[in-house]
């Protein structure tokens, strides 16, 4: 009988994957060799938590997919230890797949193959799943309790990257004899001679009344590297910020209590939330959440040199808690080009803003990062009324008597199968996937405690960009082309478009721009690039304001 072996080891740091694989494999062979069984395939997950369902473990997922293949090459699957393979109710969600494809499941705990008709076998397997879940929960409880005691009583540094302003130094051999024998050392925090004065400056300027952006702008202007630029080895993913300070970085420093010299633990926690409440079988995902300050664990005594005193820290926290006066919200205005116009300098979507009761579009890229005006003007404005007349006039010329036949030909030509169409679709799909990736990153940053308003603005920009890309992707023509009758009917229906645009309701007009796939890029020298499927042109607007 031919068997596939499945095993799992949690992490390479705590266990030797090769040793774990060997003993699980040996236990599996002890079970099947008396029946002349032979292992012909192996599936072994390394570094995967037992709480992950099989569909989200690489090797387990590959095994499940192979069950459906009649030429899979094995007749049954053997598992060395069910507690490593199944967690909670995973057996009940996975075993029916084995039964459906006629593949046996062998485990030592039942002495051979699991009988799908045996209540006793099902009880035993579910019992081991519950034991696996209980063991994981007990480990989590022990670890968290031990770390809380180490932080509060011993004041021990519990790992992770040091806060900006500090550096790690050795603090003697590890108290665990086995770890000490392996050469591991304890660590403690010491002020960084370069970064520590910057932390003091941030607290001083904030308590003097400076805002977060003003502080970030000043640090960037003075050529002081941001925390990610100060420690580039740990922050390769932040190269795009070009070393500029952000408001979120300043806020994180002002909120960090460890600058007072005390060890503080449990500021964040890991929550496990369902990926999909309508599909519990997908399992959970880990989210970082900020704990209430009353739940923080403080060391009983100072554990490292303080950069700022406790009074300064608490004064900064009180300043954060003071209510700020906000200008009254203005009446909502309709922006005809909302989500359709972007900045030619940074590529971001421009936001609508009323100036002197007229709609404008503004790009304020340096609002978050302290970037100088030589890289991006502080504000870039363009007046809506400087664009729409020229845009409407051009749209109208496409359907007048002089251009009617040409427009019909263009539309008909665009409807023909294009050898580059698949490439364009693939490029648009890739850009949509990139938007999804960025949204996921922004969500992670938000979960880590970043400024919600800033992240929400970023996410809104990406969501608008994604919607526009989906609209472009949706302009593909089923079957590859329109009939000539359809093209002619479309063109004839749009001949009076300039009259319609002139008299259109603003909401209808804005909707029309969106449906036509209009995209505009404003350049500070006064040029606006206009793109609309299936053709693009450049038009000049007056003023350049």
- Of 27-31, 39-43, 245-249, 369-373, the one with minimum mean pLDDT is 369-373
| Shared-domain flag, residues 217 and 306 | yes
Please write the tens of the pLDDT for every residue from 437-446. Answer: 888 877 777 7
| Shared-domain flag, residues 497 and 366 | yes
Greater confidence (236 vs 91) lies with 91
Please write the tens of the pLDDT for every residue from 449-474. Answer: 767 777 777 787 788 788 777 766 66
Over 70: is that where the pLDDT of 498 sits?
no
Q: How confident is the model at residue 480 (pLDDT cuts 50, 70, 90)?
A: very low
Nearest in space to 263 (alpha carbons), one of 188, 200, 171: 188
534 preceded by a cis bond (ω within 30 of 0) = yes
What CA–CA distance (Å, rounded) separates 127 from 113? 17
| Shared-domain flag, residues 390 and 516 | yes
* Cα angle 113, 119, 122; round to 5: 55
Q: In what order do the strands lie in the sheet with 351-355?
A: 351-355, 358-363, 380-383
Instruction: Tell whether 79 is covered by a domain.
Output: yes
Are residues 526 and 401 in contact, defined by beta-carbon separation less than 8 angstroms? no
Are residues 512 and 501 in contact, defined by beta-carbon separation less than 8 angstroms? yes
| Shared-domain flag, residues 47 and 128 | yes
Instruction: Tell whether 278 is covered by a domain.
Output: no
| Shared-domain flag, residues 259 and 384 | no
Q: Which of 109-123, 163-177, 484-498 has the largest mean confidence?
A: 109-123
Average pLDDT, the chain: 80
Q: How confident is the model at residue 482 (pLDDT cuts 50, 70, 90)?
A: low
State which residues form the domain around 313.
166-170+190-263+299-321
Q: How confident is the model at residue 364 (pLDDT cuts 50, 70, 90)?
A: confident
pLDDT in the model for residue 543? 37
Q: Which two tokens stand for residue 257?
A: 């209590």
pLDDT in the model for residue 47? 86
pLDDT in the model for residue 491? 62
Q: What is the mean pLDDT of residues 58-78?
A: 93
Over 60: is that where the pLDDT of 10 sits?
yes
| Shared-domain flag, residues 110 and 213 | no
Q: How many domains does the chain have?
A: 3
| Shared-domain flag, residues 221 and 368 | no
- CATH number of the domain residue 220 falls in: 3.90.1750.20
pLDDT > 70: percent of the chain? 80
Q: How confident is the model at residue 276 (pLDDT cuts 50, 70, 90)?
A: confident
Q: What is the mean pLDDT of residues 5-13?
A: 79
Please write the tens of the pLDDT for every residue from 302-327. Answer: 989 999 999 999 999 888 876 555 54
Instruction: Tell whether 179 is covered by a domain.
Output: no
User: 242 in the Ramachandran plot: left (φ > 0), alpha (ψ -120 to 50) or beta?
Assistant: left
Instruction: Tell whether 23 is covered by a domain.
Output: yes
- Of 107-111, 145-149, 180-184, 359-363, the one with minimum mean pLDDT is 180-184
What CA–CA distance (Å, rounded) separates 510 from 335? 7
Burial (Cβ within 10 Å: 0-12, 13-18, ≥19) of residue 79:
buried
Report strand pairing: 185-191 vs 527-532: unpaired
| Shared-domain flag, residues 120 and 226 | no
What CA–CA distance (Å, rounded) separates 151 from 519? 56
Instruction: Tell whether 145 is covered by a domain.
Output: no
- Of 25-39, 51-65, 101-115, 278-292, the one with minimum mean pLDDT is 278-292
| Shared-domain flag, residues 51 and 95 | yes
Instruction: Tell whether 240 is covered by a domain.
Output: yes
pTM of the model: 0.51
Please write the tens of the pLDDT for every residue from 380-402. Answer: 888 888 888 888 877 777 767 77
Over 90: is that where the pLDDT of 500 sits?
no
């Amino acid at each position: 009988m031919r068997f596939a072996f499945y095993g799992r080891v949690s992490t390479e740091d705590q266990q030797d994957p090769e040793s774990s694989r060997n003993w699980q494999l040996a236990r599996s062979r002890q079970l099947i060799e008396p029946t002349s069984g032979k292992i012909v395939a192996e599936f072994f997950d390394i570094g995967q938590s037992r709480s992950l369902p099989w569909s989200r473990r690489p090797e387990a997922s590959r095994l499940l997919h192979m069950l459906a293949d009649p030429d899979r090459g094995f007749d049954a699957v053997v598992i060395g230890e069910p507690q490593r393979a199944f967690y909670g109710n995973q057996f009940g969600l996975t075993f029916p797949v084995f039964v459906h494809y006629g593949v046996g499941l062998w485990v030592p705990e039942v002495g051979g193959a699991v009988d799908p008709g045996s209540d006793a076998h099902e009880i035993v397997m579910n019992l081991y799943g519950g034991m696996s879940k209980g063991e994981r929960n007990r480990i989590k409880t022990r670890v968290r309790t031990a770390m809380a005691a180490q932080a509060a009583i011993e004041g021990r540094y519990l790992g992770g990257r040091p806060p900006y302003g500090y550096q790690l130094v050795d603090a003697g051999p590890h108290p665990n004899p086995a770890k000490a024998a392996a050469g591991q050392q304890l660590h403690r925090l010491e002020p960084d001679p370069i970064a520590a004065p910057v932390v003091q400056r941030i607290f001083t300027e904030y308590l003097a009344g400076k805002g977060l952006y003003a502080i970030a702008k000043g640090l960037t202007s003075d050529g002081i590297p941001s925390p990610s630029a100060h420690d580039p080895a740990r922050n390769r993913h932040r190269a795009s910020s070009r070393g500029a300070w952000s408001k979120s970085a300043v806020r994180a420093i002002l909120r960090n209590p460890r600058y007072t010299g005390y060890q503080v633990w449990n500021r964040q926690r890991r929550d496990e939330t369902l990926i999909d409440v309508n599909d519990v079988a997908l399992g959970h995902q880990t989210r970082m959440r900020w704990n209430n300050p009353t739940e923080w664990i403080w060391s009983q005594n100072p554990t490292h040199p303080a950069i700022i005193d406790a009074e300064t820290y608490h004064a900064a926290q009180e300043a954060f808690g003071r209510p700020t006066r906000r200008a009254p919200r203005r009446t909502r205005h309709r922006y005809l080009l909302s989500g359709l116009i972007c900045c030619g300098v940074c590529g971001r979507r421009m936001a609508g803003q009323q100036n002197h009761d007229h709609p404008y579009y503004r790009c304020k890229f340096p609002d978050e990062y302290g970037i100088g005006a030589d890289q991006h003007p502080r504000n870039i404005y363009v007046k809506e009324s400087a664009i729409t007349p020229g845009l409407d006039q051009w749209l109208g010329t496409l359907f007048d008597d002089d251009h009617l036949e040409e427009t019909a030909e263009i539309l008909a030509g665009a409807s023909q199968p294009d050898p580059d169409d698949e490439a364009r679709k693939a490029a648009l799909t890739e850009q949509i996937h990139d938007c999804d990736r960025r949204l996921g990153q922004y969500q992670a940053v938000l979960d880590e405690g970043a400024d919600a308003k800033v992240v929400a603005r970023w996410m809104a920009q990406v969501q608008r960009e994604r919607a526009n890309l989906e609209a472009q992707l949706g302009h593909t023509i089923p079957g590859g082309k329109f009939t000539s009758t359809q093209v002619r009917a479309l063109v004839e229906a749009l001949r009076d478009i300039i009259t319609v645009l002139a008299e259109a309701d603003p909401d209808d007009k804005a909707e029309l721009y969106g449906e036509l796939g209009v995209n505009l890029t404003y350049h500070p020298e006064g040029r606006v690039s206009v793109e609309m499927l299936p053709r693009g042109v450049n038009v000049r607007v007056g003023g350049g304001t």
